[in-house]
Chain A
Amino acid sequence: MPTILSVFERPDHVAAAVRKLKGRGFDDLETYSPAPFEEIEEAMDNKPSLVRLFTLVGGLLGVLTGFAMPIWMSWDWPVKIAGKPFASIPPYVIIGFELTILFGGLLTLVGLFIVGRLAPRKLDPGYSLRFSAEDFGLVVTVPDRDVAEVDSLMRAQSAVEVTLVDG
């Protein structure tokens, strides 16, 4: 099936084009954008990002580790310090807090790579360096018979350029 690349100059045009295509039932879409724009992300997929789950799990793991580790270690080798209990909560709040942040942050990074499907790999054939300049790209894969329709549709949405992606 052929893949069509349309180039836009404004994010709202991309968002409108995406909605048009989705309305016509073309769901095999991808956008390239030089900067984040909410309107495009919402038009493409309005579900909340799953990254939040990673942060939550990381934070919980961190707070558990941060309290369990010092508490267990204090009991494993009990030393009386400054008349305080072996395992005393106030100072361990600090350890618990730091590890919450540490684990939460690291798992958020993992989340970004998994949810955003980031991996050092070959770039899409439709992608080019103009999309890391100031142009917006929208690629859609459609059956042969719909190409002309998509072309006119995209031009009507003020695409500045519509081309077929080779390969």
Chain B
Amino acid sequence: MTPPPPATAMAEMIRPRKTPKDSKINLDILSVTKGTSLSYIALVGLAALGVTQALLTLAYQTYEGLGIAGYQAPVFWGVYIITFVFWIGIGHAGTLISAILYLFRAKWRNAINRGAETMTIFAVITAAQFPLIHIGRIWKFYFLIPYPNQRGLWVNFKSPLIWDLFAISTYLTISLVFIYVGLIPDIAIARDRSTGIKKLVYTVLCGGWQGTSRQWKAHNRTILHLAGLSTPLVLSVHSVVSWDFAMSVLPGWHATIFAPYFVAGAIFGGFAMVLTCLIPVRRIFGLEAYITDYHFENMSRFILLTSWIVGYAYGMEYFIAWYSGVEFESTSFYLRAFGPYWMSTWMMITFNFIFPQLLWFKKLRTHVTFLFVLAFFINLGMWFERYVIIITSTSRDYLPSVWGLYIPSAAELSILAGSFCFFALFFLLFLKVFPIIAITEVKELVIHEKMHGEAR
């Protein structure tokens, strides 16, 4: 482009400014937050209804006691703990996408990281409620927190449950920090394009962001450091959850492979949940230009990889249980496959390991409907994986005389359903407040492309 002739006087420089047209990316992605359709309101209402019924159940359970949750010797860890582990696991894909793939400079994360992080936040918040629901006397929850008290007691730091408290609160905090830092420039975009009270809120939240070089530099560094911190954090969180089980000497629980196995399973299930959330969002809001086949292809590869790690762990658990020659171990694993809970076990193996093998086919890796269905089954399979681990081991202890049978009660299922509604409710609300795709990160790629396109 040829530069215009230099102005010779200051006066010439003051001329009416053109109003530049807004970026298409901004318009496309911010349009998600604008307006509410009838079906959106219906969905929110439905989710709110689900949460309400769970709250009522919870109130009843708090009044009546944990008996209504079917807790009975020998099984005292039931659906609440299963669901807790399930939701914590779901939260892992978000951090993986935003932190680990950031460190590996995998640019394909840019369009999906915000959605995945959002999912992480709400999944962890959902999960964090379950230990409270599970302890029954919710008002005694503060006993877990180490603070100087008149009881003169400190918490037991050798208990995995205390590790859990630290791991999960750290994870929630750091995930919030991460998503917030990533949101700052995007909030500034929304601020520039809104009015009234909304503008005020956005202005406060984005801290006067203007995209100056100083701000970007600090921002880049911050993201890098948070990514560096979150990567080991994401490994630790589900490891700590797995140690809730592995620290005991119960057959089927006391396994060294538990930590990496749980982490891989968490990433696996988390990716499936990312698909479950993003496929409808992409379809409804017409974001096909941003979340493309390429993203689905890569997520599918990750699901395939992690399904093999999970499959490896299943295999090694069975092999070593047999190889160990320890009667209790081998019996425990035999009963998993052929005992009263055989259906859950085979569902877990089929959904988590066999079905994902279909992703070897390139066609299926980008077939959105197929992926949505597959993700549904994986979610189901991952829930049953935790069911198998927790229930089979507690119900079949060392002594056959104290064996029992556990069946989820209506109260538990009501709260389980409520947890999905809670998650959906907040995910839906988030869509209308903040951009679900990281605008600046997509823009970065687009501007790079534009530059190199011009250069050619």
Contact = CB atoms under 8 A, between A and B. Distances in A.
Interface of A: 2, 4, 10-12, 30-37, 40-41, 44-45, 49-52, 55, 59, 69-70, 73-74, 76-77, 79, 81-82, 84, 88, 91-92, 94-95, 97-99, 101-102, 104-106, 108-109, 111-113, 115-124, 127-135, 144, 147-148, 151-152, 155-159, 161-164
Give the most central of B7, B204, B229, B236: most A CB within 10 Å.
B229
B10 A148 contact: yes
Interface of B: 1, 3-10, 13-15, 17-18, 20-23, 25-26, 146, 152-158, 162-163, 166-167, 169-170, 173-174, 177-178, 180-181, 184-185, 188-189, 192-193, 203-204, 206-222, 225-226, 229-230, 232-233, 236, 240, 440-441, 443-444, 446-447, 450-451, 454
Contacts of A134: 23, 25, 443, 446-447
Contacts of A51: 218, 221-222, 225
Given A35-B185, A102-B173, 15 more contacts: A4-B13, A49-B221, A51-B218, A52-B225, A70-B157, A73-B146, A73-B155, A74-B154, A108-B222, A116-B219, A123-B210, A124-B210, A128-B192, A147-B13, A148-B6
25 contacts: A31-B212, A35-B440, A36-B219, A37-B447, A40-B213, A59-B229, A69-B146, A79-B156, A94-B167, A99-B170, A102-B170, A105-B173, A108-B229, A118-B209, A118-B215, A121-B208, A123-B208, A129-B22, A130-B20, A132-B189, A132-B193, A155-B5, A155-B7, A162-B13, A163-B15
A22 B161 CA distance: 58
Nearest to B444: A35
A120 B207 contact: yes
Nearest to B153: A77
B232 A97 contact: yes
A117 to B, nearest CB: 7
Contact of B211 (A12, A33, A70): A33
A122 B62 CA distance: 50
Contact of B218 (A4, A105, A111, A121): A111
Contact of B210 (A102, A112, A131): A131
A38 to B, nearest CB: 8
Contact of B444 (A36, A98, A104, A147): A36
Contacts of A79: 156
Given A94-B163, A111-B222, A116-B219, A73 B154 contact: yes
Contact of B156 (A50, A81, A106, A131): A81
**Leading 10 A-B pairs by shortest Cβ distance:** A152-B6, A118-B207, A116-B218, A129-B192, A35-B444, A73-B154, A70-B157, A133-B23, A44-B213, A51-B221
A59 B169 CA distance: 16
Nearest to B247: A91
A132 B188 contact: yes
B451 A12 contact: yes
Contact of A151 (B13, B174, B178): B13
Contacts of A155: 3-7
A2 to B, nearest CB: 7
Contact of B236 (A44, A73, A94): A94
B203 A120 contact: yes
Contacts of A40: 213, 216
Contact of B215 (A52, A106, A109, A117): A117
A95 B209 contact: no
A91 B4 contact: no
B128 to A, nearest CB: 15
A26 to B, nearest CB: 15
Nearest to B8: A148
A31 B211 CA distance: 8
A41 B217 contact: yes
A151 B7 contact: yes
Given A35-B447, A101-B229, A88 B158 contact: yes
